[in-house]
Amino acid sequence: LEWLETARRAASLKAIRYVQHGHVVGLGSGSTVALAVEELSNRIREESMMITVIPTSYQSELLAIEKGLRFAELNRNTKVDVAIDGADQVQIGTLDIVKGGGAALAREKIVDSAAEKLVIVVDERKLTDKLGRNQPVPLEILPFWFNATMEKIRRLGGKPAFREGAGKLGPVVSDNGNLIVDVDFGEIQDPELLNKGLKLIPGVVETGLFIGLGGYICVGKRDGTVEVLERNK
Ligand code: A5P
């Protein structure tokens, strides 16, 4: 998979072109976003740009600190000019997305949905014609009485499983102190309806279904090209 890093980097370079001097930039999470942040910090240096960032996880916060990026003051500010994020799966056509492979879905959804322009960076393996195919939907749920919440998720047709930690025994605990559950729904016929159903379950903090957000998907291809898919809100 040597082409992967090249493809992701090429797509990242395309994505950071949406950032302009003075922008507030949302930073998603994941390995692809890490490449984009690296390229963004190079560009900031080369072009003496001033931007401020809003990270969506400890991962992107630490990266932003390492790169010397300035942080936007949350709550003094409710505007995000551009959010740059990754994805686990993107449905061709509708451009609905599954996210949360890195357990950062809740903050990512807050930041991505506040963005004037959402720019998603993926490699072509993430494209599918049916969300949910070989891809569970990550959910963040409150730790309190998790089995009651899991039961309601099952009633919607899902098979929930706690995500196991690496470097820690037991389930993954999110940056917000909640539990991460991966739910197998099989191929999802109506992602919007499923998302609404999940959001109505008390105890579900957020879902990894990112539906109806406008923006650009920069797809790094095996052949070295980058395709930009666009969707209006
Ligand atoms: C983080 O919670 C996720 O939403 C990531 O954006 C997603 O998992 C993509 O990660 P990679 O770029 O590492 O594949």
Distance 99 CA to ligand 1 centre (A): 6
Distance 104 CA to ligand 1 centre (A): 8
The pLDDT score that the predictor gives to residue 91 is 97
Known active-site residue 108: yes
Give the Å distances, CA to CA, from 68 to 44, 63, 86, 171: 10, 9, 22, 33
Nearest protein CA to atom 12 of ligand 1, as residue:
32
Angular region, 189: left φ>0, alpha ψ -120 to 50, beta rest: alpha
Amino acid 232 reads: N
Under a CB-based contact definition with an 8 Å cutoff, are residues 79 and 35 in contact?
A: no
What b-and-e string marks burial along 116-135, b requiring 16 or more CB atoms within 10 Å of the CB? ebbbbbbbbebbbeebbeeb
pTM for this predicted structure:
0.96
168, exposed or middle or buried, with CB in 10 Å at 0-12, 13-18, 19+?
Answer: exposed
**CA dist., res. 191 & res. 199, Å (int):** 12
What phi and psi values does residue 89 have, to the nearest 5 degrees? Answer: -155, 140
| Annotated catalytic residue within 108, 124, 140, 206 | 108
Check residue 1 and give its pLDDT. Answer: 82
pLDDT score for 92: 96
pLDDT at position 131, please?
A: 98
Residue closest to 50 by CA, chosen among 66, 63, 69, 32: 69
- Closest ligand 1 atom, residue 31 Cα: 13
Q: Which of 192, 181, 183, 195 is closest to 154 using CA atoms?
A: 183
Q: What pLDDT score was predicted for residue 114?
A: 96
Q: What is the mean pLDDT of each run of 10 residues along the chain (233 residues)?
A: 94 98 98 97 97 98 98 92 98 97 98 97 98 98 98 98 95 98 98 98 98 94 97 82
- Distance between CA atoms of residues 163 and 79, nearest Å: 32
> Do residues 23 and 79 lie in contact, with contact meaning Cβ atoms separated by under 8 Å?
no
Spell out which residues line ligand 1, taking CB within 6 angstroms. Answer: 28-32, 85-88, 99-105, 108
Q: Which atom of ligand 1 is nearest to the CA of 208?
A: 4
Question: Of ligand 1's atoms, which has the minimum distance to the CA of residue 105?
Answer: 2
Tens of pLDDT along 101-143? 999 999 999 999 999 999 999 999 999 999 999 999 999 999 9
